[in-house]
Chains A and B, each alone.
Chain A
Amino acid sequence: DQQVKQNSPSLSVQEGRISILNCDYTNSMFDYFLWYKKYPAEGPTFLISISSIKDKNEDGRFTVFLNKSAKHLSLHIVPSQPGDSAVYFCAASPGGTASKLTFGTGTRLQVTL
C-alpha cells in the first residue's frame, strides 16, 4: 500500500521553463511534507519542506504547494536549470516526536538545453 505516490516516473523540461513535480498521499495523519533531491551515486539531500498549517512555502527558485483537501502537493522549480536534473523524492511524516518519513517512488527530472 503506497501511502505516498509520485505517479510520474520521469519529466523532461527545457532550461528556463517551469518544472512541476507532483505528489499525492493517502494517510490523513501526515502533517509535514518534504522534498529531497538525489544525484546518482549520492545520498538524497533535503530541498524544501512544508507544514500542514501552510499551503505554500518558497525558497529561492523552489516553491512547494500543499492542497490538504486533495491530499496533493507539488514542487515548482522556476526557472529550471541543467543542474536541477536529478531524482526528486516526496516524503511525508506524521510529525510530532515520531519523525519517520514515508517516501514516494521518485520522479526523474531532466532539464534540457
Chain B
Amino acid sequence: DAEITQSPRHKITETGRQVTLACHQTWNHNNMFWYRQDLGHGLRLIHYSYGVHDTNKGEVSDGYSVSRSNTEDLPLTLESAASSQTSVYFCASSDRSGSGADTQYFGPGTRLTVL
C-alpha cells in the first residue's frame, strides 16, 4: 500500500545544531508539504513543493530549508536549531487532480525538542 513516512519519529537536539527531518512518500504525488503543529496555532505551513526541483516558502519558513531532488522525498533542514523550533512536524503530500483543492495525506509526525 502507498504511504507517507517520516523519520525520526522523535529527536532531541541542541541549540545551534543542524537537523534534517526526512519525509518519504510512495503515492507518486507531485505536491509535498511541511507543517509544524503548536498549541494555539494549529498547523502552519513551513515549505512546500509542486514537483522535482520546485520549492516554495510557506507561512513560517524562517530558519528552515527544503530541497526536492526526486518525487518521493522532501527533507526538511533546520540550519541552526533554536528552542522556538521545538514542535511536532508533519509532512503531507497530494496529487494535483485538477478538480479543486487536493486532499493532503499526512505522515505520522516527528516530535522535535531543541534544548
Interface centre among A4, A94, A105 (most CB of B within 10 A): A105
A46 x B105 contact (CB < 8 A): yes
Identify B107's interface contact among A43, A49, A106, CB under 8 A: A43
Identify B109's interface contact among A42, A95, A102, CB under 8 A: A42
A18 to chain B, nearest CB (A): 24
How far does the alpha carbon of A101 sit from the alpha carbon of B59 in the complex, in Å? 11
The 8 A CB mask of B82-111 against A (1 = contact, 0 = none) is 000000001010101010111111111100
B45 close to A (CB within 8 Å)? yes
Size range of the chain B interface in the assembly: 20 to 34
How far does the alpha carbon of A38 sit from the alpha carbon of B21 in the complex, in Å? 21
Given A34-B103, A43-B106, A43-B109, residue A99 in contact with residue B94 (CB < 8 A): yes
A-B contact count (CB 8 A): 63
A109 to chain B, nearest CB (A): 15
B58 close to A (CB within 8 Å)? yes
Which chain A positions have C-beta within 8 A of B41?
105
A101 x B45 contact (CB < 8 A): yes
Which chain A positions have C-beta within 8 A of B68?
none
B72 to chain A, nearest CB (A): 17
Identify B101's interface contact among A4, A45, A101, CB under 8 A: A101
Given A46-B103, A97-B96, A99-B94, residue A41 in contact with residue B109 (CB < 8 A): yes
B100 x A95 contact (CB < 8 A): yes
A62 close to B (CB within 8 Å)? no
Which chain A positions have C-beta within 8 A of B44?
103
A44 x B90 contact (CB < 8 A): yes
- Please list 16 pairs of residues, one from A and one from B, whose beta carbons are closer than 8 Å in the complex, sorted by A's number: A6-B42, A32-B100, A43-B109, A44-B43, A46-B103, A49-B103, A95-B101, A97-B96, A99-B96, A99-B101, A99-B104, A100-B33, A100-B48, A100-B58, A103-B35, A105-B41
